[in-house]
Amino acid sequence: MTDLFPASGQFYRGNLHTHSTLSDGALEPAEVCRRYRDEGYDFVALTEHLVGQFGYPIADTTGFRGNGFTTLIGAELHSGEQENGDLWHILAVGLPQDFEPPQTPRLSFASPDQERAADLAARARAAGAHVSVAHPQWSGLTTNDARTIEAAHSVEAYNHGCAMGCDRAEGFHTLEQLLAEGRRLNLIATDDAHFTELDHFGGWVMVNAAENDPDALLEGLKSGRHYSSQGPELRNIDITSTHVEVECSAAVSIIVQGHGNAARATHGLSMTRGRVGLERFAASPWIRVTVIDAAGRRAWSNPIWLDG
């Protein structure tokens, strides 16, 4: 199994889903990067909507790197119809600047004649990107839809902008439906910040990498050496034949989930360590961990496959 907490490297905090005035955000790219840097983030990805109405932008943020802060190059990709007739949203981080955009004229225009979302996601992955299924609950995504994106590395399990704007934040159900089918996917939390409402600094990834460098961060994302958070820290997860032991920042609940309805939890005050037995997970090929602090904020591990 992936070692989420290797002895080498360190964790870097970043937002993978952000918009500026290059598409439908309220702030200039330089100001978006400044705000994330000053908020204490180590990196950010500006992921503009790659559609014709905005000139098919892939934001060049290399000029905003420096002083312990870096950027990843990416975009939010759109093409084709979901089952509900809406346009697909695919998050791609680590794109080359010359990535060929889909022929999608407007953010509101979905057509079965456009490039299939599955093919667009596959092109992005082949070009070197980390690919995620974006905000499934907000999109009204079906499991049939989600399973077509075979190139995905992860599912956007928490989207802070969707939480604040319409209370449709989650992708955990979509993720777990795919896990049940054997898909080895990870999860990410993001802001999807537009700075038009309280949609920023609410969800992020913590990526383990040798250095705060775009290539190293991207490799950590693709390898699954990351967790997601609204505030709490995950510091270690140790799995034995009988239990899971979790080390974290102060928490009131430590929960282990698995296939179907398998779940066990331990609760207390200011816990920084908790042990959960594995008896309930004998038939589950994977587990994941959620930590909740006294303010209700969560941190989530990636799924951990017990067969290694």
Residue 101: how many other CB atoms lie within 10 Å: 18
147 three-class SS: helix
pLDDT of residue 2: 53
Residue 138 domain-assigned (yes or no) = yes
Cα separation values, 172 from 87, 97, 133, Å: 21, 31, 11
pLDDT in tens, 125-181: 999 999 999 999 999 999 999 999 999 999 999 999 999 999 999 999 999 999 999
CB distance 296 to 290 below 8 Å: no
Alpha carbons 50 and 104: distance in angstroms, whole number: 8
Instruction: Identify whether residues 220 and 263 lie together within a single domain.
Output: no
pLDDT in tens, 61-119: 999 999 999 999 999 999 999 999 999 999 999 999 999 999 999 999 999 999 999 99
Residue 5 domain-assigned (yes or no) = no
Which CATH number goes with the domain that contains 154? 3.20.20.140
Residue 124 domain-assigned (yes or no) = yes
12 three-class SS: strand
Which burial class, exposed, middle or buried, applies to 254 when counting CB atoms under 10 A from its CB (0-12, 13-18, 19+)?
A: buried
Q: Which of 112, 50, 54 is nearest to 78 (CA)?
A: 50
Number of domains in the chain: 2
Boundary residue ending a domain (198, 228, 258) = 228
Alpha carbons 286 and 255: distance in angstroms, whole number: 14
CA atoms within 13 A on the CB side of 16: 36
Residue 147 domain-assigned (yes or no) = yes
> Does the pTM exceed 0.95?
yes
Residue 73 domain-assigned (yes or no) = yes
Instruction: Identify whether residues 190 and 269 lie together within a single domain.
Output: no
pLDDT of residue 5: 80
Which CATH number goes with the domain that contains 264? 2.60.40.10
pLDDT in tens, 2-18: 567 877 789 999 999 99
CB distance 252 to 108 below 8 Å: no
Full domain range(s) for residue 161: 10-228
Instruction: Identify whether residues 270 and 192 lie together within a single domain.
Output: no
Residue 168: how many other CB atoms lie within 10 Å: 15
For all residues of the chain together, what is the average pLDDT? 97
Alpha carbons 277 and 86: distance in angstroms, whole number: 43
Boundary residue ending a domain (207, 228, 249) = 228
Residue 41 domain-assigned (yes or no) = yes
Residue 166 domain-assigned (yes or no) = yes
